[in-house]
Amino acid sequence: MEDVVLNANTAFYNAFEAGDLDLMAAVWLPDPDPVCIHPGNAAISGYAEMMRAWAMIFANTPYIQFFLTDVQVRADEDVAYVTCTENVLSSGEGAPEEGFAGGKALATNVFRKTSSGWRLWIHHASPVLSSSGGRQEEAP
């Protein structure tokens, strides 16, 4: 069961990297209201609102790639979660001209089992504090 949940988690990051709204829509659980929290931002609640937010992110992110580390999964019969460190490389807003920006966030992805497989219910990413206590670059 853990492998299937990890596959669902991978599908989320693949949709994010591809900037594909249809793939992202297929990953999420439409009901009960899903929640998405990106580093430094307010919670986005509800499927329609979240899909609008993803469309804006995709329109303003020419390139993004995730390297996941510290991946751990816990699965029960109907609910599962994955925790990981998102090591992010991106271009676009916040990146140097002609270059890329890097960032790191800790993420928790909560999935619910449905008749069509495991669907993402909650995504919460928080910025990683540097050793000096300041915030590092934020990942989306």
| Contacts of residue 97, Cβ cutoff 8 Å, sequence gap at least 6 | none
| Contacts of residue 34, Cβ cutoff 8 Å, sequence gap at least 6 | 28, 45, 46, 47, 50, 120, 121, 122
List, for residues 102-119, the tens digit of each pLDDT value.
Answer: 789 999 999 999 999 999
For the chain, domains (ranges, CATH) are 1-127 (3.10.450.50)
For residue 30, what pLDDT is reported?
A: 92
The H-or-E segment that residue 58 falls in is: helix 47-59
List phi, psi (to 5°) of 93.
-55, 130
Grouping H, G, I as helix, E, B as strand and the rest as coil, residue 128 is coil
Q: Which two tokens stand for residue 17?
A: 């990297």
List, for residues 30-88, the tens digit of each pLDDT value.
Answer: 988 999 999 889 999 999 999 999 999 999 989 999 999 999 999 999 999 999 999 99
For residue 32, what pLDDT is reported?
A: 86
Residue 133 has pLDDT above 70, yes or no: no
Please state the pTM of the whole predicted model. 0.87
Cα–Cα separations (whole angstroms), residue 105 to 68, 82, 98, 102, 119? 10, 14, 24, 10, 22
List, for residues 5-33, the tens digit of each pLDDT value.
Answer: 999 999 999 999 999 999 999 999 998 89
For residue 90, what pLDDT is reported?
A: 84
Residue 95 has pLDDT above 90, yes or no: no
